[in-house]
Chains A and B, each alone.
Chain A
Amino acid sequence: MTIASFDQVEFGDELPSFTPDTGLENVRRFAKAAQMMAKRFTDHEGARKEGLPGAMVPGVMSQAILTAMIHRWAPEAALVKIDTIFRAPVMVDEAHEVNGVVTDLDEETKTAEIDLTITNGAGETRVLGTATVRLP
């Protein structure tokens, strides 16, 4: 179910989780659009030469994936602020899950606060954040 208005949101609501495409081809597509064609994002071998375990998803892409989850849940939500902490690398070609939960509601401003996470297959949180969104 998608959210159309503030009245439909309740404290503790969980946003529908989704599995972002963190495959190498898609990350390259992002890197090209974001002009971030560094080898640590676009090439496993190049990333290993820089001392990384493999190519990693750019932090800017992780943040935008979290925002996309919000839009899938509430297509008309307007982002007021998103603050993300890159706790550990999101590795390219590994499965990740994106989750969110509503932690605060302000009826006066019709805004909701959402806690956000990206976790890997081992259940480790790689990115966490908070977003404030305004709803119709």
Chain B
Amino acid sequence: MEIEELRKQFLKLNFDTAEFRVDGDDIVGFSVACGETASRYTDASDPDFQAPPTFPARFHGRRMLPSDLPLEGKIPLDAGKAVMPQKAIRAGTKLVGKSYLNEIYEKTGRSGRMIFLVSRMELFDEAEDLACIVDSRMVVRERPAE
């Protein structure tokens, strides 16, 4: 896989759009299980009730990567996740997630080359405001002989 070629073909091109509904019970279950104690995340009757900031990381589109990305049979592994909240997300909100590859880069070590693919999902609310950005970092490993 040539990095420059991959960048030219795939960066910044939308490959998935999906809709999600934010459920109040899910917000409470998610928050309590993770040890949140603030009532704005754990109590649906709180006037400021909202999803905790990393809640949108649970949303997945239909695809994590473009269908025509030439992975040559390799399975990308989860290397990390970044979340950048932009505004409060309330129960009942419908979100639209639009995904594209935001970064493609490589690192080479003793065990061979690793290609990092950063898939970005931008989540928009009903007012079409950007509510959150979630970056999923995936890594594809190559052995030195490849």
Contact = CB atoms under 8 A, between A and B. Distances in A.
A85 B32 contact: no
B57 A33 contact: no
Nearest to A127: B80
Contact of A27 (B27, B33, B35, B57): B33
A35 B35 contact: no
Contacts of B55: 64
Given A30-B29, A33-B26, A60-B54, A68 B82 contact: no
Contact of B34 (A65, A82, A86): A65
A29 B31 CA distance: 10
Contacts of B84: 80-81
Contacts of B28: 33
A84 interface: yes
Interface in B59-111: 78-85
Contacts of B41: 71
A125 interface: no
A85 B28 CA distance: 25
B79 to A, nearest CB: 7
B122 to A, nearest CB: 14
Contacts of A81: 82-84
B142 interface: no
Interface residues of A, number: 34
Contacts of A34: 26, 30, 58
Contact of A63 (B27, B29, B57, B85): B57
Contacts of A46: none
Given A33-B29, A35-B58, A83 B82 contact: yes
Given A33-B29, A33-B33, A64-B30, A83 B58 contact: no
Interface string A48-80: 000000000001110111011101100100111
B25 interface: yes
Interface of A: 18, 20-21, 26-27, 29-30, 32-36, 59-61, 63-65, 67-69, 71-72, 75, 78-86, 129
Interface of B: 25-38, 41, 52-55, 57-58, 78-85, 135
